[in-house]
Amino acid sequence: MNLDVPLSEDDKARLALALGRNANIERVAKIVALAGATEALDQATGRSVPSTIAEVRSHRIYCLVRQGMTLAEAEALVAYLFKVPAPAAKRMVMSAVARYSVELNADVNKAAAATLDDAEWNEDAERWEVAMPTAFIRDRFLDILSRGEQPDPSPARRGSIWQFPDETFAWLREQLGLEKKDVP
């Protein structure tokens, strides 16, 4: 099935306003269009039969993530789409990901892996610095780490950056099926 959805300059400007000028607007617009079509098909085929607005929103967020939207993008777009403050949008995304955890597990693991792959070694602190732009990824890491006996990571007090001891970082990567990343 091929769908042709026009994307006006006004639409691009509005998406840029919601997601920031550095966002890949064409990519996000495609994801939104595919998610909308998926949502409509899921309802038409009975795969999704929401009975409350919260269920509709949760399924809509699920469709966005299923089509390849990152969790950080979803949080920004949800705040804009549903006209809610950023903290409420984060809770809504977390709730949707939890609700559809089985279906989205591979997507969440991919996001978690990318987060760990982007980590940088801080020689002064002798720790890995991990930027965790979404609360869901942070909570996922902390949940996994709670099952082990490694030293706890700590906030670096610089935005969403957390510092991980090398043994904790290595153990977390192992739990997610990732190869060891050596200290440079």
Q: What is the pLDDT along the chain (184 residues), one digit of tens a residue?
A: 787 888 999 998 888 887 777 778 888 899 999 999 999 999 999 999 999 999 999 999 999 999 988 888 888 889 988 999 999 999 999 899 889 988 888 888 888 899 999 999 999 999 999 998 777 788 889 889 999 999 999 999 888 899 999 999 999 999 999 999 998 8
pTM beyond 0.85: the answer is no
Q: Is residue 180 assigned to a domain?
A: no
d(CA 153, CA 140): 13
pLDDT computed for residue 1 by the predictor: 78
What is the token pair recorded at 136? 């869901």
Q: Is residue 4 assigned to a domain?
A: no
End of a domain among 99, 132, 151? 99
* Whether 31 and 60 share a structural domain: yes
Domain that holds residue 85: 9-99
| 3-state DSSP assignment of residue 125 | coil
d(CA 174, CA 122): 21
pLDDT computed for residue 21 by the predictor: 77
* Whether 15 and 95 share a structural domain: yes
Residue type at position 137? I
* Whether 15 and 62 share a structural domain: yes
d(CA 10, CA 13): 5
* Whether 135 and 159 share a structural domain: yes
User: Cα Rg for the chain, rounded, in angstroms?
Assistant: 18
- Overall number of domains in the chain: 2
* Whether 15 and 38 share a structural domain: yes
